[in-house]
Amino acid sequence: MTPDPFDANLLLASLPASALARLRDAFSFVELPVKMTLERRNMPLEHVYFPTSGIVSIVSSEKGGLNIEAALVGREGMTGLPLVLGDDRSAAEVIMQVPGAGWRLEARALGQLMEDRNCRDRLSRYVHAVMIQIQGTALAYGRGTLTSCLARWLLMCHDRVQGDELPLTHEFMALMLGVRRSGVTVALHDLEGRGLIRSLRGRVLIRDREGLMAVTGGLYGGPEAHYRRLMSQDQPA
């Protein structure tokens, strides 16, 4: 597999090239197959992943088996957020939702990377952006309908893939949204009936992005604007 360049991940692209060069040997380019577990709840973190393709789900879970997605990560970001905040383990399950590839960095090396002030600032800003995304998810689950939550989630997935086709099953969508599969099927039929998507076996085709945004009723867009604000500073040298 030919490695993607560092700048295929937007967060890595925003870090000082000199800092990345010093740790080049600590990075490995790896495939990230669907359902691969990148972090396990309450287990020490050994690696951080910077995806260049695919979608990562940060999933909150409880002992009774209830799972619900708290945040998405794509080529704009990274896993291993607790390490940026000084913790060595995750409170969530972090899994690949859509297969891809990316750069893997040893956890200890992330600490070395953060010794650079510019790197520390950029990574901290990204963690803040994810916190805002999680707040947006809580608002959507509390205020939105299943259809509006699904529309928001499809838009967020669309942001993180190339093209308009999302390789997603009804079962996986239900798991991520914390609802029954039958509910997802009804909501997909609603969106398809409006001409906004096309639901196919194992995939969803986005047909009208602006229409989906309207269905969210304002639940999509706020966290995305904050991400652009937080990460819009010029790349350091």
CATH of the domain at 64: 2.60.120.10
> Is 52 in the same domain as 120?
yes
> Is 10 in the same domain as 51?
yes
Q: Residue 188 domain-assigned?
A: yes
Q: Residue 196 domain-assigned?
A: yes
Please give the residue range of the domain that contains residue 89: 6-140
Q: What is the pLDDT of residue 237?
A: 44
Q: Residue 11 domain-assigned?
A: yes
> Is 135 in the same domain as 157?
no
Q: Tens-digit pLDDT profile for the chain (237 aa)?
A: 788 999 999 999 999 999 999 999 999 999 999 999 999 999 999 999 999 999 999 999 876 667 899 999 999 999 999 999 999 999 999 999 999 999 999 999 999 999 999 999 999 999 999 999 999 999 999 999 999 999 999 999 999 999 999 999 888 899 888 899 999 999 999 999 999 999 999 999 999 999 999 999 999 999 999 999 999 866 544
Q: How far apart are CA 174 and CA 223, in angstroms?
A: 23
| Cα–Cα nearest to 107, from 83, 126, 127, 77 | 83
> Is 168 in the same domain as 181?
yes
pTM: 0.94
> Is 92 in the same domain as 130?
yes
> Is 69 in the same domain as 125?
yes
Domain count, the chain: 2
> Is 100 in the same domain as 209?
no
Domain boundary among 140, 157, 181: 140
Q: Residue 232 domain-assigned?
A: no
> Is 93 in the same domain as 167?
no
The CATH code of the domain that includes 182 is 1.10.10.10
> Is 14 in the same domain as 128?
yes
| Cα–Cα nearest to 220, from 211, 207, 229, 232 | 211
Q: Residue 226 domain-assigned?
A: no
> Is 150 in the same domain as 122?
no
> Is 135 in the same domain as 36?
yes
> Is 78 in the same domain as 154?
no
